[in-house]
Amino acid sequence: MSARARRPQQKKLSRADSDDEDYSSISFGALSKAQDELLNQSDDSDDSESDSDGPPEESGSRFRNSKHAKNKRRNKHAPAEASSKKPVSWIRGPAAETSQKSSSLYQDIRFDTAFGKADLQKTRKNYAFLNEYRESEVRDMRDQLQHHPGLNDRNKQDLRRQIQQTESRLRTFKDRDFETHVLQDYKKKVKSGEVKGPLHLKRSDQRKLILSEKFKVMKSKEVNKALERKRKRNTAKERKLMPDERRS
């Protein structure tokens, strides 16, 4: 073997000897740590290759999840964040302009706050003619029930129900008018000195006064009927409060 062929072999042997000396100087802990890092890097590279080999749907879903994670709030009490690059669906006008338009679009001037607080007594007096219309409607419906025998059962039931509703509404309005009249008359008497007592009565005293005035106006038969209705209501309330064993 020539001298030229021996020289590279000697160089290789000298390099191997130097590498062995370097490895022998490294501790076992450093070697095991380096080995673990190499294994982790190989696992990550395998996962990336398997993800790239998968279908495009998975990559799209991952992209959406990452996008959702970016837009997610850092804290539940923090304000929501939106991208400035996304176009706005509609542009809001000034707050004062929109509120003024919506409030004045369908507004009845009779109930406008600019004209003061609504007076229920005055309104009731101005629209008192509606009771006459309701009474005429009740008469017409009663005539239809009596003089139209060709009506079927369903139409008759509808007419009876409408008559009952209209009559109950009329009674309610008449009772309210009577109560306001009694209270106004009482205040006038107190101011003039005919009656001694407080000008503004309590709710319980108002009910007593209205009930006594009702009994004065009503006939004896009507008073007996009203007392009978009240007695039945009280007995029904007492039965509800009783236990099941004592009910009879």
Residue 167 pLDDT = 92
**Is residue 220 classed as helix, strand or coil in its secondary structure?**
helix
How is residue 240 written in tokens? 């509800």
pLDDT tens digits along 144-199: 888 887 788 888 899 999 999 999 999 898 888 899 999 999 999 999 988 888 88
Which structure tokens are listed for 67?
């996008």
Q: Are 157 and 121 in contact (CB under 8 A)?
A: no
User: Could you give the CA distance from residue 90 to residue 94 in angstroms, rounded to a whole number?
Assistant: 13
Find out whether 64 and 72 touch, Cβ atoms under 8 Å.
Answer: no
pTM across the whole model = 0.46
Q: What is the pLDDT of residues 96-148, one digit of tens each?
A: 454 455 555 567 776 677 777 777 788 888 888 888 999 999 999 999 888 88
C-alpha–C-alpha distance, residues 78 and 68, integer Å: 16
